[in-house]
Amino acid sequence: MEWARDIFQENSVSTRDLIQPIFVIPGANTEEPAPGLTGVNRYTPDLAAKRAKEVWDVGIRSAMVLPCPHPEMKTLDAKEAINTTGFLAEAVAEMKEAAPELGLIGDIALDVYTTHGHDGLMNSKTGVIENDATIARLAEQSIAQAQMGFDALAPSDMMDGRVSAIRAALEHADFQDVMIFPHSAKYASALYGPYRGAVGSDTSLGKRDKRTYQQNPANAKEALREVALDIQEGADAIICKPGIFYLDVIHQITDKFKIPVIAFDVSGEYAMMMSAAEQGLIDHDAVLLEKMVSFKRAGASAVVSYSASHVAELLT
């Protein structure tokens, strides 16, 4: 009997559990497909504002803004990351005007702004990613994004000690209310390809990888140690990335720390499902809803997904 099935259901998904990524590009009056992500577009600031309003209108209450700078904006020192008058700042201002109550989450990392595609600053002689120099730049980037109007910041760089440095910088600049949602359990996954294509960091990175600072996919205890450190340093919530491949990690984090955990349904996970649906191998919407409830069953408080707005439409 359906009524009994409904009242005894242990987990459910609502529109308020969803976070919609929005890709932003420089320019005006342009909406273009994001390479490798069927159905996902990139928007200039004026149209990102329209997209933000659409997201709000389907019941979603937060969006993660993902900048896609032009290649000529990329430098070794990631200077564009701290530009408070550039296209990202313009997008935030327009999105806030169009959807004032929509929470905006900023991505704190340098990969889209560096010529080499790494999340940190590289020593030009040794090729080593310099942790301390990167943290200093990330703190500057955090202040810049707080000044732009972001409500929360999501450091995705995986440098050691960056949460405490960002928290201290925000406090010093009188941005105490800006929250920090670090990617504490971010794995050196093979599932990020479509995202890197969408933001243009795939060309910069080439055949290099990020295993020196992202976590080993074979490890779970390592993630728990990283989460513990980030909580001590002032994290308000934790992001686990990728999502569906790491449900066990999400469960362990929520069970051990009782802190809100955000699952990130990454680009490769999205692309695989879209491909299977396009070939008629799965019922896309049924699988999508099943995937979302699996995140909640594992313990996630929220889910970042390129499918978020479509999930919201299915729920309403």
Per the annotation, the verdict on 291 as an active-site residue is no
Burial 28-42 (b: 16+ CB within 10 A, else e): eeeeeebebbeebbb
As a dihedral over the C-alpha atoms of residue 118, residue 122, residue 124, residue 126, rounded to 10 degrees, the angle is -100
Residue from 74, 96, 210, 241 carrying the catalytic annotation? 241
DSSP 81: G
Question: Distance between CA 152 and CA 64 in Å, rounded?
Answer: 9
Q: For residue 309, how far is the Cα from the chain centroid?
A: 15
Question: 159 near 131, Cβ under 8 Å?
Answer: yes
Whether the CA torsion 87, 144, 167, 221 is positive or negative: it is positive
- Best CA proximity match to 259, nearest among 295, 229, 300, 294: 300
State the DSSP string of 38-59.
Answer: TT-EEE-HHHHHHHHHHHHHTT
Alpha-carbon gap, residue 168 to 142, rounded angstroms? 11
Closest CA to 308 of 272, 263, 276: 263
The Cα–Cα gap between 298 and 17 comes to 14
241 a catalytic residue: yes
Beta bridge partners of 261: 238
Catalytic residue among 186, 210, 291, 296: 186
Calpha distance 30→48 (Å, rounded): 9
Q: How many CB atoms lie within 10 A of CB 46?
A: 17
Residue partners of 207: CB distance under 8 A and separation at least 6: none
User: Which residues are designated catalytic?
Assistant: 186, 241
